[in-house]
Structure 1
Amino acid sequence: MLSILIPGYNYNVVALVLELQKQCLECNINFEILVFDDGSKLFLDENQKINSLEKCSFKVLEKNIGRSAIRNLLAKKTKFDSLLFLDADTIPIHNNFIKNYISQINEDEKIVYGGIQYQKGKPNKSKVLRWKYGNSREALSVEKRQQNPYLSLLTLNFLIHKNIFATVCFNETIPNLRHEDTLFSYNLMQQKIKIIHIENPVFHLGLDAFEVAIKKENESLLGLKYLIDRELLPSDYVRLSEIAAKIDKMKLNFVFALFYKITMPLFLKNLSSNNPSLFIFDLYRLGNLCNLYSKHSITR
């Protein structure tokens, strides 16, 4: 009935698998939990314990194949038609998490997204930026998510039918620079596949420290520009790239790129503080993207 698919990388997934297995057994359903590790070097011994659990398996890939490819590979190895994707650094908030998803399984052509939440208490200084951004921009109510159902889809907690995934899967031809989920949501929109938003969240546990968060954001902007350059994604699909494209058309990239280079040290000082400004974060991201627009198109 249900295949639960968890791509992992350098993360201990045992607690997540135990909770999911417990809920599946309580629901008395046919299920499997597949964890594929993308060439990690950490937590391998701990995660091997998963293989001793009923209807659960853990496999380590010989080399890192990237976020898109590992999700596609997981889907190909499933027994059942209903696929529940979860990131390794999540944990269900409620004990009826699986039951809620089971109630959504029917013949309708749709994807079901349950949402995400972050811890309420403020973390240590190094993780405040990612925590603040997540709470403000990602941990949205069902009502807010429904206002922009495709862009509100985060691929760390969603249910999809195998037939739909055979039509719209993750693009493996793009560099492993993030925004593969943005492209996935855009392709779903192109195919007119509905996204149903429900209140069935997981906690996102893996908060990145500031240096890692900024590195990932810079990679994300490279990935976004790559998709736009190759016309895989229209520039107006994401608000940030829509603004950058308008600046590009007005031939003002050099102004924003210069502004970005001058202000970057001050911006980074604020963003690494205990009270980072999301407005400054948006300016940093826009300036960075305009700087990319001012250069030649990104090549592979």
Structure 2
Amino acid sequence: MISILIPTYNYNVLPLVQEIYSQIKLTGTKFEIIVIEDGSPKNENTSTNEKINEIENCYFERNDTNRGRTKTRLLLSQKAKYNWLLFLDADVIPVTKNFIEKYISLIDHEQKVIVGGYQYKESTATQESILRYSYGKNVEEKKVTYRNSKPYQYIFSGNILLNKDVFLENNYIGDTIYYGMDVYFSYQLFLNKIKVEHIDNPIYHLGLETNEIFFNKSLDAVTTKKVYLSKLKDIDKINSLIKYYNLLKKYNLEKVIAIGFKITEPFLKRMIFKKNPSLFCFNLYRLGFICQ
């Protein structure tokens, strides 16, 4: 028995629901698919997504206001009636036709988290979204052996199976909307010694943000790391950016880096937004930004 939970914002999620539905029906497993639209303006996507309610055991609801993905995932989990939760992002599609079957075969009584992984289609790499594609291809799309060597550093909420109790006990429950809270969730799993198992069961990430939007969201995530996460005990073992930031602080070098960042910021930005984005400069930019 499994609850498949999908938060969305202004995205046509019907093709994903139809694919998941067709796969899970073949398994004979009891299921539900719940989609919550997080307060986006009503438009053509809303009308299309409402057709989800016409599919057996599938439900589409809307938040009246935007509550953020973290809060929406919490609402989804509270509505779920089964003890195993599969969270998927709205802008993804399974790579294989046995995607659901593979997850269901791993359901047992163990308290654990199972992460399927990401893949990126070259066909999605337009010049307007090349930064997001490059980051995903080089940072998120990792072999399962590599992810299992660093299990808490590669937890992405867009393709993850876990026990309901594990989610509720480790998810951020505050009312403040922070961006980039997957790191907090990973940190809680690390602290509580919850088993994390990475498997080869990826989804294609299709809905790539434009370069400017992804860049700005990344800086929002850096702000979250500095304001909310950087002082947590042993957080360095979960996130490399915080690790280097705290190391610089330890030796009183963050002000020096901030000055250097102010000087080099225009150059770094040009390198990040060029035709072939420099992820090295992107990482330097984020380090300078967190020091600033």
Aligned residues: 290
Corresponding position of 1:234: 235
Q: Is the 8 A contact 1:228 1:235 kept in 2?
A: no
Q: Which moved more, 1:280-289 or 1:173-182?
A: 173-182
Corresponding position of 2:54: 52
Trace 1:269-288 onto structure 2 (pairs within 5 A): 269-288=270-289
How far, CA to CA, are the matches of 1:209 and 1:175 in structure 2? 26
Per the TM alignment, residue 91 of structure 1 is displaced from its structure 2 partner at its CA by: 0.6
Counterpart of 2:31, as a letter, is: F
SS in 2 for 1:33: strand
The 1:134–1:29 alpha-carbon spacing in structure 2 relative to 1, beyond 3 Å, is same
Corresponding position of 1:131: 133
Trace 1:94-133 onto structure 2 (pairs within 5 A): 94-121=96-123, 123-133=125-135
Trace 1:149-228 onto structure 2 (pairs within 5 A): 149-168=151-170, 170-173=171-174, 175-228=176-229
1:210-262 deviations in Å (ceiling 9; x for gaps):
11011101101100012235637734531111111121222222221121122
Counterpart of 2:50, as a letter, is: Q
The 1:48–1:143 alpha-carbon spacing in structure 2 relative to 1, beyond 3 Å, is same
How far, CA to CA, are the matches of 1:35 and 1:22 in structure 2? 16
Counterpart of 2:106, as a letter, is: Q
How far, CA to CA, are the matches of 1:119 and 1:38 in structure 2? 27
Q: Is the 8 A contact 2:187 2:235 kept in 1?
A: no
How far, CA to CA, are the matches of 1:54 and 1:20 in structure 2? 12
Counterpart of 1:24, as a letter, is: I
SS in 2 for 1:100: helix
SS in 2 for 1:27: coil
How far, CA to CA, are the matches of 1:32 and 1:123 in structure 2? 33
Q: TM-score, normalised by structure 1?
A: 0.92
1:258-289 deviations in Å (ceiling 9; x for gaps):
21122111111121111111111111111111
1:58-81 deviations in Å (ceiling 9; x for gaps):
001111111221111111111211
Q: Is the 8 A contact 1:183 1:233 kept in 2?
A: no
Per the TM alignment, residue 191 of structure 1 is displaced from its structure 2 partner at its CA by: 1.1
Q: Over aligned residue pairs, what C-alpha RMSD do you find?
A: 1.5
1:118-161 deviations in Å (ceiling 9; x for gaps):
11347221211111111111011100101110111111101111
Flag structure 2 segments of 5+ consecutive residues without an equivalent: none
Counterpart of 2:20, as a letter, is: L
Q: TM-score, normalised by structure 2?
A: 0.95
The 1:262–1:201 alpha-carbon spacing in structure 2 relative to 1, beyond 3 Å, is same
How far, CA to CA, are the matches of 2:224 and 2:175 in structure 1? 8
Corresponding position of 1:8: 8
How far, CA to CA, are the matches of 1:12 and 1:135 in structure 2? 23
Q: Is the 8 A contact 2:230 2:246 kept in 1?
A: no
